[in-house]
Amino acid sequence: MNPDGFRHRRRGRSRPRLLPLLGLSLAAAGAAVLAAVLVREPVGSVTPGVESVTALSTDQPARREALEFRMTDPDHGWIRYADGVRTTSDGGITWTDSASVPADPAWGAAEGQELPGPEELPAVKSLQFQARDYAVKQVQFVSPELGWALVQDEGELGGGLLVTGDGGRSWQREVTQPVRDAIRRAKLELQGRLKEAPLYASAEAARLVFRSEWLVMPETAVPGGAVLIRHTKPGSVYWNGRTYRLEPYGAGYFTYLPIGMDVKPGRYPIGDKMLTVTSKKYPSQYLEVTEEMNRMRQDTKRIAADQAKINKARSVSQPEFLAGGPYILPVEGRLTTPYGHTRYVNGKFSGAHLAVDLAAPEGTPVQAANEGVVVLADSLYLTGNSIYLDHGMGLFSQYAHLSKLQVQTGDRVKKGDIIGLVGTTGFSTGPHLHFAFWAHNVQVDPNLFFGRSPFHWLSLPEGSGTEVR
Ligand SMILES: [Zn+2]
């Protein structure tokens, strides 16, 4: 018996799933003719056990040479041999004979979705296994740490794959615990990307996201605006005197950053990216109200009591995006005061109006701008009947001066749900909806959200649309 044949048999015994096949093969071992017939069986019926028989029964063992392989995700893949195909659905722990190479799905297609491929991955030309150097015929990584390789051998590896769970520093034939851990992490990353990828404007945009450590979406903003930050790892961002914690979502970690009206134009580093704040001049607005109404604004005790309620409602936000898609205008109304107007009431400066006013007839239904949770539905002194919705990740929308509240604190609402009716309660000169967005308790421009998902704020670099990968 030649040593090569011996190695084949020993390997067979070390893998329990091969035992029945091996037993069957040994029973047939006396009949060299049968073995010869078996190796000529059509593609798909040849088993690893039969290979052992061949090795035993001839002086020149047949090498089962693997021609190519592909892992379509951390679980699923195939190896094609000159005489058959084997597939795996558990990351290569077990392999089964298959009639043919499975249809070549896109990475992640097992979950029924196309997913942009992974980022820059190790390139391996040769590797060391059991103190021997091998030339690599084919290598495929699905994450920076998890990869498989097919090497040029003399048959001693039996046409199997080698696998690494540490980015190619060490390679194994068996799926060891560290490799299993790498598979588990790669699957979590894959699931996260499958959840996150559809939120972006295009597959190209998603590819850019998954290849970037830091993202500032968009990279240019104005005072009164907001940006969405993404990082690949947990942590926090220090911005304009405050620390913002990054919350996990999909495969990344996120926070909104409000660009307050006090932020000076300039370039601000965020991780390895740069946020450019450009100046914006907001127009002025002059309002005349009755002295009785103007006196309303001086009841600081009632205003402070309301503010305590509002602060409490806005102090906690769901640490996830409750709404990923575009926001809608809550009423089809006439825009009477755009965002950011500097206001003068009866000739006196009264601050900037950091909301939009939409005039509409009393009783016009007001819709939730997006999915969220009602964190406050109450009658307040200045803003009248008011609603605050939490959209998650520190983003709230506010609806004021309603004639009627149609939700209660704690309700969960969907985009477009009627939550109240237009009115003129509180400090108001006529029926209208005062609508604002609050990002981490700073009022930001609602126009950034209307008709556009915050995930679409991502700016693609020039010419990136033509990039092929
Ligand atoms: Zn207003």
Length of the chain: 469
Quote the distance between the C-alpha of residue 285 and its chain's center: 42
Cα 364 to ligand 1 centroid, rounded to whole Å: 17
Cα 139 to ligand 1 centroid, rounded to whole Å: 61
Cα 456 to ligand 1 centroid, rounded to whole Å: 27
Q: List all residues 6 or more positions away from 391 whose beta carbon is below 8 Å from its beta carbon.
A: 321, 322, 323, 369, 370, 371, 372, 397
Q: Which is more confidently placed, 62 or 89?
A: 89
List strand residue ranges (DSSP E) for 338-424, in order. Answer: 341-345, 348-353, 356-359, 365-367, 372-380, 384-390, 395-402, 404-405, 412-413, 418-421
Q: What is the CATH number of domain 284-454?
A: 2.70.70.10
Cα 434 to ligand 1 centroid, rounded to whole Å: 4
Q: Which CATH class name applies to 208-280? A: mainly beta
Cα 270 to ligand 1 centroid, rounded to whole Å: 33
Handedness of CA 402, 407, 413, 418 (dihedral sign): negative
N- to C-terminal Cα distance for the chain? 50
For the chain, the maximum distance between any two Cα atoms, rounded to a whole number of angstroms, is 111
Cα 286 to ligand 1 centroid, rounded to whole Å: 13
- C-alpha to C-alpha distance for 101 and 106, rounded to whole angstroms: 14
Q: What is the pLDDT of residue 435?
A: 96
Cα 185 to ligand 1 centroid, rounded to whole Å: 48
SS3 for 387?
strand
Cα 358 to ligand 1 centroid, rounded to whole Å: 8
**Burial per residue of 47-85, b for 16 or more beta-carbon CB atoms within 10 angstroms, e otherwise:** bbbbbbbbbbbeeebbbbebeebbbbbbbbbbbbbebbb
Residue position matching structure tokens 């033509």: 466
pTM value is 0.75
CA angle at residue 283 from 281 to 285, to 5 degrees? Answer: 155
Q: Where are the domains of the chain?
A: 1-62, 63-199, 208-280, 284-454
SS3 for 434?
strand
Per-residue pLDDT for 104 more than 80?
Answer: no
Cα 424 to ligand 1 centroid, rounded to whole Å: 11
Q: What is the pLDDT of residue 52?
A: 37
Least confident of 28-42, 159-173, 245-259, 454-468: 28-42
- C-alpha to C-alpha distance for 341 and 346, rounded to whole angstroms: 15
What average pLDDT does range 116-130 have in this prediction? 76
Least confident of 7-16, 98-107, 230-239, 420-429: 7-16
- C-alpha to C-alpha distance for 412 and 191, rounded to whole angstroms: 26
The neighbourhood of ligand 1, an ion, using CB within 5 A, equals: 355, 357, 434
Per-residue pLDDT for 117 more than 70?
Answer: no
Look up residue 20 and give its two tokens: 């029945």
What average pLDDT does range 180-199 have in this prediction? 89
List strand residue ranges (DSSP E) for 289-346, in order. Answer: 334-337, 341-345
Across all residues in the chain, what is the average pLDDT? 81
Q: What is the pLDDT of residue 207?
A: 86
Cα 335 to ligand 1 centroid, rounded to whole Å: 10
Q: What is the pLDDT of residue 258?
A: 97
DSSP state, 450?
A: B
What average pLDDT does range 61-88 have in this prediction? 84
In whole angstroms, how far apart are CA 173 and each of 63, 72, 252, 373?
17, 19, 32, 51
Per-residue pLDDT for 112 more than 60?
Answer: no
Q: Tens digit of pLDDT for each residue in 382-438?
A: 899 999 999 999 999 999 999 999 999 999 999 999 999 999 999 888 999 999 999
- C-alpha to C-alpha distance for 315 and 142, rounded to whole angstroms: 40
Cα 9 to ligand 1 centroid, rounded to whole Å: 81
Cα 337 to ligand 1 centroid, rounded to whole Å: 7
SS3 for 149?
strand
Residue 211 has φ and ψ, to the nearest 5°, of -100, 0
